[in-house]
Chains A and B, each alone.
Chain A
């Protein structure tokens, strides 16, 4: 593995800088400015927020270049953008544009149903989603510099994020109890590179930062992700689909920093208007579950 290569260190370095912060989905420069003023550590440029992708259907692609450029020009914080799973050409275009991070995201319509982008060859860092440890380690093996446990994007429901955060944490703890010989079948079972399985068993954590995403609608949702070991939180539809984006964004930023202090999370939550409408995950068909995309 190329963990010690300068290129990989610089990629993971930016992920380190984003820890303890909130990365907010935005669809234009005005939203990006609101996010920056509220204290976002980075913004994610996309064509439509996940709730709208879910409602409107159709193929969801990389955002329009003009929109991303407008956002990059206006804000001084890092700008991320999403490409479709396996769409290496969209990824190359975003790299050429100079975005700071690419999210190879299941929220967009996958371009390849077998392969993800081979990310080691890129200079720009990538973040990828996962539902379990095996998926996380496969993405890191491909070169991802940051992992986000998937929630159910655009649902306003935190249950899937919690499920996957707990799954990754539980699987990491289990590896810590195995001896060297037992890690070989564990690697087979996880369908993940042995070297990365050994790293997790030894260090008790992923070799790259682990953020949470999907379904965060309130400051308490964000604090819950931090309690479950997330190092930072992505918020998608939760901000700009709410009735008070600016205040809600600032409140979620505060809750992520002060997650260990319920009095501050209380204060941040006080007086917020309506959160986005939520979906009952149990009523979604497997085909409607964005988090099942990616392999």
Chain B
């Protein structure tokens, strides 16, 4: 059983896992970079960072890492997925269609807000004020995916216009933006609380 001081794993195949490590260190959490399935033992939580989902999927091929990630997540390990991480977890990925781990009951379109010139810092609408402890939430969107449908087990915690951008399904927290790039983000705070509660 992961102890109270067990590290949070950062999927470190590619992407901004160092930014996540910094954000979690500021909250007193230890982290461990995960590149193979043997790095998964004894984790208190797991971060699937931003980056390129196609690169991460290619790097998972031919190893048991993907299957072991699914097993850990289904077993209730708290997860924070951001941007590409959400694409990895989604039930279905479009534009273009691509394979995924399929543990988050949501449909996602890649790069749906456009290219880098359409990347932006956006003020979000908080739907779950109690969970996040605030009304004010900033979203840093970088070539972000769009969630177009969610299942009944998924709670929408925040939106950008009508689009769900922060989802919770059990112990999975999924953001199409990058809370790790906002100093003191309430989303990272919430994830840290989920990890502590599970430990």
Contacts and interface: CB of A to CB of B under 8 A. Distances in A.
Interface stretch (B51-59, B128-136, B157-165): B51-59
A246 to B, nearest CB: 12
A39 B140 contact: no
A16 B115 contact: no
Interface in A1-44: 6, 9-10, 13-14, 16-21, 36-42
Interface string B138-150: 0010110000000
A92 interface: no
B102 interface: no
A10 B143 contact: no
A100 B59 contact: no
B54 A101 contact: no
Contacts of A257: 12-14, 35, 59
Contacts of A254: 59
A133 B170 CA distance: 47
Nearest to A20: B14
Interface stretch (B15-23, B40-48, B70-78, B190-198): B15-23
Interface in A194-237: 231
B181 interface: yes
A258 interface: yes
Contact of B17 (A20, A42, A125, A258): A20
Given A17-B50, A20-B14, A40 B55 contact: yes
B116 to A, nearest CB: 4
B19 A6 contact: no
Interface residues of A, number: 37
A265 to B, nearest CB: 12
Given A250-B58, A257-B14, A258-B35, A14 B51 contact: no
Contact of B15 (A20, A37, A100, A258): A20
Interface in B80-133: 83-84, 95-96, 110-111, 115-117, 119-121
A100 B18 contact: no
Given A10-B142, A21-B14, A76-B96, A124 B51 contact: no
30 contacts: A9-B140, A10-B121, A13-B119, A13-B142, A13-B178, A14-B116, A16-B16, A16-B50, A17-B51, A17-B84, A17-B143, A19-B15, A20-B14, A21-B51, A21-B52, A36-B54, A37-B58, A76-B95, A77-B52, A78-B116, A78-B143, A99-B115, A100-B116, A101-B116, A124-B116, A125-B116, A253-B55, A253-B58, A257-B13, A258-B35
Closest 4 CB pairs between A and B?
A39-B58, A100-B116, A16-B16, A6-B121
